[in-house]
Structure 1
Amino acid sequence: MQGEEPIVSGMAGRYATALFELALEAGSLDAVSADLDRFEALLNDCDDLRRLVESPVFGSDEQLKAITAVLDKVEIGGLAGNFLKTITANRRLFAVQGILRGYRARVARHKGEVRAQVTVAEPLSDAHRTALAETLNHVTGKDVAIDVTVDPALIGGLIVKLGSRMVDASLRTKLNAIRHAMKEVG
Structure 2
Amino acid sequence: MAAVTGESFASLQEQLADTLDGAELAVAAELFHALDVLDSSPALRRSLTDPSREAQDRASVVRALFGAKVRAGTATVLEAVASQRWSRERDLGDAVERLAVSVAAVQAEKGGLEGLEALESDLLSFRRAVSSSHEVQHALTEPQAEAEAKRKLAGRLSAGVGAEARLLIDRAVTAPRGLRPEALVERFAGQVAARQQRWIAQVTVAKELDVAHQRRLSSSLDRYFGRELKLDVVVDPSVVGGIRVQVGDEVVDSTVSTRLNDLNRRLAG
Please say whether Structure 1 and Structure 2 have the same fold, judged by a TM-score greater than 0.5: yes
> Would you tell me which structure has more helix in proportion to its own residues?
2
SS at match of 2:182: strand
The verdict on how the C-alpha distance between 1:90 and 1:13 changes in structure 2, with shifts beyond 3 A counting, is closer
Paired residue for 1:69, among 64, 69, 85?
64
Partner of 2:119: 113
Partner of 2:27: 32
Matched, 1:128 2:150: yes
Q: Conserved in 2, the CA contact under 8 Å of 1:64 and 1:89?
A: yes
Partner of 2:12: 15
Paired residue for 1:84, among 78, 85, 91?
78
> What is the alpha-carbon distance in structure 2 between the residues aligned to residue 43 and residue 90 of structure 1?
15
The alpha carbon displacement at 1:122 in A equals 4.5
SS at match of 2:96: helix
Select the structure of larger CA radius of gyration.
2
For structure 1, the residue ranges without an aligned partner over 5 or more in a row are 1-8, 165-186
Structure 2 counterpart of 1:96, one-letter code? L
Q: Conserved in 2, the CA contact under 8 Å of 1:71 and 1:77?
A: no
> What is the alpha-carbon distance in structure 1 between the residues aligned to residue 181 and residue 26 of structure 2?
29
Structure 2 counterpart of 1:131, one-letter code? L
SS at match of 1:56: coil
Q: Conserved in 1, the CA contact under 8 Å of 2:25 and 2:104?
A: no
SS at match of 1:113: helix
Q: Conserved in 2, the CA contact under 8 Å of 1:43 and 1:50?
A: yes
Within 5 Å, give how 1:51-62 maps onto structure 2: 51-62=46-57
Structure 2 counterpart of 1:44, one-letter code? D
Matched, 1:101 2:97: yes
Matched, 1:163 2:186: yes
Aligned-residue identity in percent: 14
> How many residue pairs end up in the alignment?
147
Partner of 1:168: none
The 10-residue stretch of structure 1 (99-108 or 85-94) with the greater mean CA deviation from structure 2: 85-94
Q: Conserved in 2, the CA contact under 8 Å of 1:60 and 1:89?
A: yes
TM-score (norm 2): 0.42
Structure 2 counterpart of 1:97, one-letter code? G
The alpha carbon displacement at 1:40 in A equals 0.8
The verdict on how the C-alpha distance between 1:69 and 1:55 changes in structure 2, with shifts beyond 3 A counting, is same
The verdict on how the C-alpha distance between 1:159 and 1:88 changes in structure 2, with shifts beyond 3 A counting, is closer
> What is the alpha-carbon distance in structure 2 between the residues aligned to residue 57 and residue 14 of structure 1?
20
Partner of 2:229: none
For structure 2, the residue ranges without an aligned partner over 5 or more in a row are 1-5, 109-117, 128-139, 188-269
The verdict on how the C-alpha distance between 1:97 and 1:123 changes in structure 2, with shifts beyond 3 A counting, is farther
> What is the alpha-carbon distance in structure 2 between the residues aligned to residue 38 and residue 16 of structure 1?
20
Higher relative contact order (CA 8 A, sep 6+): 1
> Would you tell me which structure has more strand in proportion to its own residues?
1
The alpha carbon displacement at 1:20 in A equals 5.5
